[in-house]
Amino acid sequence: MAVGGGAAGIIALIVALFFGVDLNGGGGDIGQQRGQQVPGSPNLAAQCRTGSDANQSQDCRIVGTVNSIQQYWKQTVNGYTPARTQLFSQATSTACGRATSAVGPFYCPGDRKVYLDLTFFNELEQKFGGSAGPFAQAYVVGHEYGHHVQNLLGTMSKYQTGGSGATSNSVRLELQADCYAGTWAKNAVRTGFFSAPFSDEDIREALSAAEAVGDDRIQQRTQGYVQPDGFTHGTSAQRERWFTTGYQTGDPRRCDTFSGAL
């Protein structure tokens, strides 16, 4: 079962430090599907070496973000096992089955990989009215790695019965991943890949984009009415609130979406 597909949510990114990134193995590498280069991403190891590279290249920003997120969770979760991020174009095969760009970014617990088709970020802006900028990209990666943490902690297996609906386990898993992304954003500077905390403006952009991809907003835009029984990711207000909870507290223990009201 793949987790987190579809419009995922949004966050902030200001990459200034990008040294010591492992591009060829370990937690921060970007795996290329079947040994092929992703269009527009030839030889990432040669391209992505400095903060300037990260500021100018979407692919390098993704690599820097992955490394920051993995460093944060390594500092936070005892025995954290890194996951890999695989870029793909159009379609790819995973341990969770074959996936296409239509799925959006997702995490596959079967092979413990985060899958990203970078064209999703353009769709996020054009189809859903959210931001396609670096803040949006960082949130998406942070959210998907939140699912990896859920997998490692056993939360995913405990609640993966999922289903849909306003209080379903699917919604609770997704909102927790939003909250986890917020805790990373709060602590990103201490991972060594960012030179300054995110600004209020960055966070406002993140929240605005998160609002654009809530279940209620998407349903209203695509079918003209809201159907809570079909919710899988949470409403705009819930996504904003749980990301904010993670960001304001910086504490993953405050991300318990499985107790009480959402």
Task: Tell me the average pLDDT of the chain.
Answer: 76
Residue 131 pLDDT level (bands cut at 50, 70, 90): low
pTM attached to this predicted model: 0.81
Q: How far is CA 243 from CA 19, 77, 175, 195, in A?
A: 28, 19, 8, 22
Least confident of 17-31, 87-101, 174-188, 210-224: 17-31
Residue 137 and residue 73: Cα distance in Å, rounded?
18
User: What does the CA dihedral 260, 8, 147, 237 come to, rounded to 10 degrees?
Assistant: -20
- Other C-beta atoms closer than 10 Å to the C-beta of 78 total 5
pLDDT for 9 beyond 50: no
In order of 32, 45, 59, 92, 100, the CA distances from 37 in angstroms are 6, 12, 12, 13, 17
| Spatial distance between the Cα atoms of 176 and 254, rounded to a whole number of angstroms | 9
> What percent of the chain is predicted at pLDDT more than 90?
35
Q: How confident is the model at residue 10 (pLDDT cuts 50, 70, 90)?
A: very low
